[in-house]
Amino acid sequence: MRKESLTGLSELTGFDRRTIKARLSDLDREEQGTSYLYKTVDALALLYGATRSEELDYQAERARLTHHQANKTELEEQVLRGELVPSSAIESLLSNIFTAFRAKLLGLPTKAAPQLVIMADPVEAETLIRAFLYEALDELATYDLSEIACGDSGQKPSNTHSAAGHNSEPVGGSGKKVKQRGQRRAGTVEH
C-alpha cells in the first residue's frame, strides 16, 4: 500500500500542510526519520470527508451511482424529445438572429434615403420610416426557432413554434402608400 508524507499529501490535494496535519491527527502513521508517512487511501478519505476508507458504505455509493445514472438517462431522453437544447445551439441561433436584425436595421437608412429625398411632407416620411421599422421587427418576430430543437435529426418537434404567427399581414396596422412625386433625371455625361 502506498504511503505519503504531509508534503506529498499537500502536493496531491492542494491543502495546506497544517490543515492536513490537523485532520490526520487521529490517523495511524509510520515514522520515517523526521517525517510521518500516512496510508494514502486512508488519508485521502479522511481529508475529503469520509472517516476511513474501510467505513465507506458500498450500498450508499451504489445508490448514489444509480441515482446519477438515472438523471443522465432522463437528460438524454429530453434531448431526444427536443425538450432540452444544448446552450451552444441557442448561442449560435441567437447570434444569427441578432446579426440579421442588426444588418436589417443598419440597412434602413440606405433603403429609405432615396424615397425620403423626394418627400415634402414629414408625415409621409414618418410613415415610410415606420413601415421599414415594422418590416424589420416583423422579421425578428417571425424568426423560426425550431431549428435549434431539430438538431442533427432534422425533425421539428411538435412542441415548438415561432414567437408570432406569420400570416403575411403587415405589422402595426395599415399604412398609407407612399406616392413618389416624380422621376429624377440624370443629366448628360460627357466622356
Q: Is residue 72 assigned to a domain?
A: no
CA distance 52 to 46: 6
Q: Is residue 73 assigned to a domain?
A: no
Q: What is the pLDDT of residues 133-177, one digit of tens each?
A: 999 898 888 887 776 655 544 555 454 444 445 555 555 445 555
Q: Is residue 174 assigned to a domain?
A: yes
Q: What is the pLDDT of residues 105-124, one digit of tens each?
A: 999 999 888 988 888 888 99
Q: CB-based contacts of 39: which residues, under 8 Å, 6+ apart? A: 1, 2, 3, 27, 28
Q: Is residue 123 assigned to a domain?
A: yes
CB 40 within 8 A of CB 3: yes
CA distance 48 to 30: 21
Q: Is 7 helix (H, G, I), strand (E, B) or coil?
A: helix
| Judgement on whether residues 98 and 155 belong to the same structural domain of the protein | yes
**What are residue 188's phi and psi, to 5 degrees?**
-75, 140
Count of domains forming the chain? 2
pTM score over 0.75 = no
Residue 71: the pLDDT is: 95
CB 72 within 8 A of CB 65: no
pLDDT band (50, 70, 90) for residue 89? confident
| Judgement on whether residues 17 and 103 belong to the same structural domain of the protein | no
Q: Is residue 63 assigned to a domain?
A: no
Of 84, 63, 67, give the one whose Cα is nearest residue 75. Answer: 84
CB 26 within 8 A of CB 42: no
Q: What is the mean pLDDT of residues 25-52?
A: 80
Amino acid at 12: L
Domain that holds residue 91: 86-182
| Judgement on whether residues 141 and 95 belong to the same structural domain of the protein | yes
From residue 163, alpha-carbon distances to 41, 101, 145, 160, 168 in Å are 56, 15, 8, 9, 15
CA distance 6 to 8: 5
| Judgement on whether residues 47 and 98 belong to the same structural domain of the protein | no
CB 82 within 8 A of CB 76: no
